[in-house]
Amino acid sequence: MAKRIAAALCTLCWVFFGYVGYVGFYLEGRRGVPGSGRWEFFIAVPTAMALLGVALVVVSKKAPILSEVVLGIQIVAILSWMFMAGGGI
């Protein structure tokens, strides 16, 4: 149960990051933005990771070892993405 909650929280984080990227680039309408790299970093990566998180929540009961591995990858990915997005690296 705790793994499913952690997976759901990771998924919600990625959905939030994707939403913020969408709002920041498309709804503000800055000229020249998004470039292809920025679009991939702020919209495509969070969306793909959110879909992976949904899949993790679905299969976590049937494949517990796989879910632990994917959850660990997601946690590392969230932290590294936050450092890069915030300018910490």
Q: Encode pLDDT of 42-77 as tens digits.
A: 788 888 888 888 887 888 778 878 878 888 888 888
pTM of the model: 0.74
- Residue 36: what pLDDT? 59
Cβ atoms within 10 A of the Cβ of 33, count? Answer: 13
Given CA atoms 26, 31, 32, 33 in this order, what sign does their dihedral have? Answer: negative
Count of structural domains, the chain: 1
User: What tokens does 6 get?
Assistant: 């952690």
- Residue 34: what pLDDT? 56
Please check whether residue 33 is in contact with residue 25, taking contact to mean a CB–CB distance below 8 angstroms: yes
- Residue 40: what pLDDT? 74
Asked if the model's pLDDT at residue 9 lies above 70, the reply is yes
Please check whether residue 37 is in contact with residue 62, taking contact to mean a CB–CB distance below 8 angstroms: no
Give the DSSP letter of residue 63.
Answer: -
Cα–Cα distance between 74 and 76 in angstroms, integer? 5
Cβ atoms within 10 A of the Cβ of 3, count? Answer: 16
Domain extent at residue 47: 2-86
